[in-house]
Structures are given as C-alpha cells and as structure tokens.
Amino acid sequence: MRKIIAGNWKMNGKLENLLEIKKISNEFARSKIEIIICPPFTLLSAASELAKNVYIGAQNLHPENEGAFTGEISANMLVDLGITHSIIGHSERRNKHNETNEIVARKVKISLEKKLQTIICIGETELQRKENSTLEILEQQLLDSLANNTNFEKLIVAYEPIWAIGTGLIPEVSEISKIHDFIRVRLVELYGSNASNIPLLYGGSVNGSNAPEIFNVNNVNGALVGGASLSFEKFAPIIRAIENTSP
C-alpha cells in the first residue's frame, strides 16, 4: 500500500513560503513516501517548477473544463501546469462555499477523468458525532460524492472529522481505527476488491507528536495535514513518522 502525506496550505502562503517546499524537497529527495503539497493557486506554477520528489496538488477545481466561470480554475488548466493531485470536497468548501455532494461528485469525476490523483474528503460534525451518526454520514458522503464514478484507480479518501480540524483535538486512536476499517469495508462492498488499494488518509490536527500513533493504525495509509504542513519544521517530523512505520 502507498504511504501518503499531503499538506493542505488552505488560503496561506506567499512567494517567500516556497522555501518550505524547497526544504521538504531537499530533505526527502530519496523518500519512498508520496509527499504532496497543495499550496494556493497563486503558487502552483512556481511550486511545481521547484518541487522534486514532492507532488504539487490543487485544493479545488471547477467541474467544467472551460467557459464563462469567472474566477474558477479547471482540471485541464491544472494538468497543463503539471499538477498531479487535487483535493475535492474539503469540509471548508462544503460548509463555507456551499458545495453539495452532487457538486463534489462532478468535481471528482472530472478530476479522475483528467487523471489527477484525487483526494476526496469526508467527515462528520461534532453534533453528528454526539448523535452517533458518524458512520451513517460517512457512508452517505462516500456514496453521494463518488456517484457516477466508476474508475477509482487514482482515488484517495481522506477522513477528516470536522471537529478535529484546526482544534488540536483528535479522536481516540481506537475510534480512528474503527472508522478507517469501516470506510475500507464499505468501499470494498460498494466498489469491489480493487477498492482495497484506495489509500485512506486521516486528517485533523495531525502533528509530529501524535503522528506515530495515528500511523500505526491499520487502514491509516497517511495523513492530510493543514496547519502543520506550512513549515518545514512541523511538516518534516510527520513525514519521518510515517517513514518509520512498518511497510
């Protein structure tokens, strides 16, 4: 199974921060880990020119290839730049930009069609967790967000509990384990045995201290990291932690 560490810079990063990508690139030049950094659109071009052994991904894309969509960026344009990965359906896009599962499904479809490695995000709110509906919510998000897609060769699923994002809180390791096992089982039941190769990432307040225990969980194949991906000093220990887990 691939091991993946993806950094989501969200709306952070200016030209001077490209240095962090360069440092990661230099430090992990021979790493076997699939390292992905998703800076804002403004840095994609410069980042993909300087990154070596680090993939550069986009945080979003439009479900159409081109046209009268002011301010939007298409999968075609990303591929043109040499971008290899995308993040689709992040909870911040779902909740702050009104992205429904239907929109997410259209984005996933075009992203996969354009052969981008596509990280689809799912996760429950604090309230849904308290109501014990996490598994139900995750299953529905998976079903709806992947609707009309049949080829999952380039799909990556990120489980990001919304209440854990940027809060410093993480679920108990046993909870992460239960949820990742559930996602794996449902993916295989829904989409067949090939789905056993879909990497499953955990996201939400991952840092250098909690990374080792998270990466020891069965069916956790990596992490989607927000805040701690912004600097070399915080991101590098997370990559080292997964390098140190058994194959």
Active site residues: 90, 160
Torsional sign, CA 84, 88, 91, 95: positive
| Identity of the residue, 104 or 224, whose beta carbon is nearer to ligand 13P in the bound complex | 224
Closest residue by beta carbon to ligand 13P: 226
| Identity of the residue, 54 or 224, whose beta carbon is nearer to ligand 13P in the bound complex | 224
Residues 228-247 that bind ligand 13P (CB under 6 A): 228
How many CB atoms are closer than 10 A to CB 69?
11
Q: Which amino acid, one-letter code, is at 91?
A: S
| Identity of the residue, 166 or 192, whose beta carbon is nearer to ligand 13P in the bound complex | 166
- Stretch 106-145: interaction string toward ligand 13P, x if CB under 6 A: ----------------------------------------
| The only residue of 83, 160, 176, 219 in contact with ligand 13P, by rule CB under 6 A | 160
User: Which contiguous run of DSSP H or E holds residue 180?
Assistant: helix 173-191
| DSSP string for 96-119 | HS---HHHHHHHHHHHHHTT-EEE
Q: Specify the pairing of strand 117-122 against strand 85-88.
A: parallel
C-alpha–C-alpha distance, residues 245 and 172, integer Å: 19
- Indicate the DSSP class of residue 69: -
Residues 161-180 that bind ligand 13P (CB under 6 A): 165-166
Least spacing, CB of residue 195 vs ligand 13P, in Å:
22
Least spacing, CB of residue 158 vs ligand 13P, in Å:
7
Residues 2-41 that bind ligand 13P (CB under 6 A): 8
- Indicate the DSSP class of residue 86: E
Q: Is 57 in the site for ligand 13P (CB under 6 A)?
A: no
Q: Is 204 in the site for ligand 13P (CB under 6 A)?
A: yes
| Identity of the residue, 64 or 237, whose beta carbon is nearer to ligand 13P in the bound complex | 237
Q: Which of 192, 202, 95 is CA-nearest to residue 146?
A: 192
C-alpha–C-alpha distance, residues 113 and 97, integer Å: 24
Binding residues vs ligand 13P (CB under 6 A) = 8, 90, 160, 165-166, 203-206, 224-228
